[in-house]
Amino acid sequence: MTDIDPTPSASAVTDEVVALPHGQFDTPIRSKDLFKGRPCIYIEHEGMIYALRSTRAGKLILTK
Measure the CA–CA gap between 61 and 54, rounded to whole angstroms. 6
**Domain membership flag for residue 44:** yes
**Domain membership flag for residue 39:** yes
pLDDT, tens digit (0-9, with 9 covering 90-100), for 31-64:
999 999 999 999 999 999 999 999 989 899 999 9
CATH number of residue 50's parent domain: 2.10.70.10
* Residue pair 16/8 in contact by the 8 Å Cβ criterion: no
Instruction: Give the domain extent around 34.
Output: 27-64
**Domain membership flag for residue 31:** yes
Counts for the chain of helices (H) and strands (E), in that order:
1, 3
CA 52, 56, 33, 23 torsion: positive or negative?
Answer: negative
**Domain membership flag for residue 59:** yes
Task: State mean pLDDT over 5-22.
Answer: 56
Alpha helices in 2-58 (DSSP H): 31-35
